[in-house]
Amino acid sequence: MKRVAAVDLGASSGRVMCAEVGPSVLQLRELNRFWNGPVRVHGTLHWDMLHLYRSVLDGLQLAGPIDGLGIDSWAVDYGLLDRAGRLLSNPVHYRDSRTDGVMERVLSVIPAADLYAVTGLQQLPFNTIYQLAAEELPADAATLLMIPDLLAYWLTGEIGVERTNASTTQLYDVTARDWSDELIARVPAPGARSNGGLPRRIFPRLREPGDVIGSVLPDETGLAPGIPVIAVGSHDTASAVVAVPAENELFAYISSGTWSLVGLELDAPVLTDEARRANFTNEGGVDGTTRFLRNVMGLWILQECQRIWGDDDLEELLRAAADAPPFAVLIDPDAPEFLAPGNMPARIDERCRASGQEPPRSRGAVVRCILESLALAYRRTLRTAQAIADQEVDVLHVIGGGSQNELLCQLTADACGVPVLAGPVEASALGNVLVQARALGEPLPDLGAMRALVRSTHSLRRYDPQGKPADWDAAESRVFGTR
Ligand code: ADP
Ligand code: LRH
């Protein structure tokens, strides 16, 4: 039996969990949970890195004796260190507008087909490559660290970047499984010196999930000396997919939180033109797997509505949505205007007017619109993934915070026409501790064994498709046109 701690930083909240992992045991206990989100300073959206670090230490101090700790977080964002190892500035939030128009500039230098052939990544305006191309690289930048790697560096003094998160930068060669020297040399960064590109030296060596990063520095952190910090699938979605409680290979998943990550697990990336045109990503997973998925905008839209309304009674909003008339108003949740923080109810109204629909009149109707529109986007994404990967799906696993949303789970089953199995809620933390436990010697030889342990220790809720499939066909052609 191993006792480990998981630091899991989602885009809307962070938490530190303590877990016991052993034969037939997988028990998670929350030590603390803290707010996370964008902080605007002089017009730029940042992450509050020191608040996160402080909160992580607060949580870890409550853990008691542990055999190891692992860190996962949202992807794509990074911190830059100078040669002395000092963080040069607070990491910028991926929703910041500094990347507006940058993708187009980069694509005029590196054609989209070249980029996809190397990285297999979905075009998202905030991918690390575009963030780096958006700004002058500080002259004293010596090292780029992804967010979990930065925290691991603060805890241990060790430098490196974990592979699953590196795979989200669009500077990683998904076939060679290493940084792409070619792309790094071609990035048209404003700060590029004579021959353009980014300096290769800022990209540290890659780590594998399961590698021991180092030991906690006790003096600074106040933690017990010698605790090993273990690399996990440090991209939160990589860790979450480890904990999908699938029984066989014919499954799809939605990692449902701030984002909805909708897709399949494959043995190898799909780098075809069809996959590129459908804007599917091939993110690196634990044990060499590929996450073939698309980012759907997710519960972010609802979170922002709640912030604007000043209404944190999600239960009541979901009750009102359940009572609101179905298919009244539908939007494409992936429309670019939903990416940045702001007045989502007003943006939804605008979208409705622009598409000839009467804007929703009540909060319940707005929430219904968001949830039905998400379910529709899931259906479209899932069908496209299956067609491209030529894979049958007999169950759709919904994991993460959004798996608690009963209305959304039912709508998802209805829209996709497949049974939904909902749970576990804390999938990222579970994937994190499972990979640590294996690294520490627990007999969990492969993903199948880890998933069997999740299945036998967590109860899932099943939603069978209901209603008329024709309603969803009609809804799909209303929003996306007939294909
Ligand atoms: P992230 O990891 O991106 O921060 P989470 O996986 O924590 O996100 O999921 C957060 C989302 O889960 C919230 O936006 C909310 O919509 C949903 N959620 C959380 N608790 C509940 C609940 N009790 N019922 C329904 N939905 C919930
Ligand atoms: C989810 C997530 C997702 C990324 C996004 C930036 O938290 O890591 O997989 O695309 O954040």
Q: What are the domain boundaries of the chain? A: 2-230, 244-423+445-483
Of 9, 13, 261, 300, the one to substitute when testing ligand 1's pocket (max ligand atoms within 8 A of C-beta) is 13
- Spacing, Cα 394 to ligand 2 middle (Å): 25
Whether pLDDT at 400 is above 70: yes
* Domain boundaries 2-230, CATH class: alpha beta
CA angle at 260 for the pair 311 and 241, rounded to the nearest 5°: 125
CB of 76 within 6 A of ligand 2: the answer is yes
CA distance 129 to 140: 19
Protein residue with its CA nearest to atom 1 in ligand 1: 10
DSSP state for residue 462 in the 8-state scheme: E
**Has this prediction a pTM greater than 0.95?**
yes
CA distance 82 to 139: 9
Query: Is residue 321 within 8 Å of 407, Cβ to Cβ?
Result: yes
Tell me the mean pLDDT in the region 429-450.
98
The predicted pLDDT at position 480 comes to 85
* Ligand number with the minimum distance to the CA of 124: 2
Of 147, 244, 314, the one to substitute when testing ligand 1's pocket (max ligand atoms within 8 A of C-beta) is 314
DSSP state for residue 227 in the 8-state scheme: P
The predicted pLDDT at position 482 comes to 54
pLDDT in tens, 301-357: 999 999 999 999 999 999 999 999 999 999 999 999 999 999 999 999 999 999 999
* Strands 178-179 and 172-173, sheet pairing: antiparallel
Whether pLDDT at 483 is above 60: no
Whether pLDDT at 296 is above 80: yes
From 399, 382, 230, select the one nearest 292 (Cα to Cα). 382
CA distance 268 to 336: 30
Mean pLDDT of the residues in the chain: 96
Confidence of residue 191 (pLDDT cuts 50, 70, 90): very low
Query: Is 236 an active-site residue?
Result: yes
- Spacing, Cα 131 to ligand 2 middle (Å): 15
Confidence of residue 189 (pLDDT cuts 50, 70, 90): confident
pLDDT in tens, 452-471: 999 999 999 999 999 999 99
Confidence of residue 445 (pLDDT cuts 50, 70, 90): very high
Write out residues with Cβ below 6 Å of ligand 1: 10-13, 257-258, 299, 302-303, 314, 400-402, 404-405
Same fold, 2-230 and 244-423+445-483: yes
DSSP state for residue 274 in the 8-state scheme: H
pLDDT in tens, 361-375: 999 999 999 999 999
Write the CATH number of the domain with boundaries 244-423+445-483.
3.30.420.40
From 297, 476, 301, select the one nearest 384 (Cα to Cα). 476
Query: Is residue 123 within 8 Å of 182, Cβ to Cβ?
Result: no
Q: Side chain identity at 243, as an amino acid letter? A: A
Q: Which of 67, 173, 236, 334 is catalytic?
A: 236
Whether pLDDT at 123 is above 80: yes
Whether pLDDT at 229 is above 80: yes
Tell me the mean pLDDT in the region 196-223.
94
